[in-house]
Amino acid sequence: MPWIDEDKCIGCEVCLEKCPVGAILMENDKAKINMDKCIRCGTCHDVCKLEAVRHDGEKIPEQVKINVETTKEFMKACAKYLGNDNEKWKCLERMKKHFNKEKIIAEKTLTQLEMLKKV
Ligand code: SF4
Ligand code: SF4
């Protein structure tokens, strides 16, 4: 999914003009994508000469860090609010289950997306 690197965007509005569904707006002279409207067509990537429209994959390290930090916060909170330090380990296991479920959803989705090629 596309996102805008505001440090690179100069607000030229080319992407806004070319977006086929009007999913891009300007906010403080920077492009912003309304993901509810975006159809993931990739046009904005192609037309931005400054490479300000970035790919989702670049956010993987950031997202992993957020997930780990969130888990640490939940672990701390479980230990605190349940009054037992051991609760943090149970919390950790629950979070591992949660992310494992996300992984399974992604894997099964990818399998079904591959099958779309045969339709
Ligand atoms: S084309 Fe690139 S630089 Fe121009 S507004 Fe869109 S993202 Fe910003
Ligand atoms: S990917 Fe396509 S629909 Fe989405 S914001 Fe870019 S140009 Fe618009």
Going from the Cα of 19 to the center of ligand 2, the distance in angstroms, rounded, reads: 5
Residue 119: pLDDT over 80:
no
> 33 CB under 6 A from ligand 1?
no
Average of per-residue pLDDT across 25-37: 97
Residue 36: pLDDT over 80:
yes
> 9 CB under 6 A from ligand 1?
yes
Going from the Cα of 51 to the center of ligand 1, the distance in angstroms, rounded, reads: 8
> 25 CB under 6 A from ligand 1?
no
CB contact at 8 A, 90 and 74: no
pTM of the model: 0.83
Say what the alpha-carbon torsion angle 10, 32, 37, 62 is, to the nearest 10 degrees. Answer: 110
Based on DSSP, count helices (H) and strands (E) in the chain, helices before strands: 4, 4
DSSP 26: E
Going from the Cα of 3 to the center of ligand 1, the distance in angstroms, rounded, reads: 11
Q: Residue 96's pLDDT is what?
A: 98
Percent of the chain with pLDDT over 90: 97
Name which of 48, 40, 39 is nearest 18 in CA terms: 48
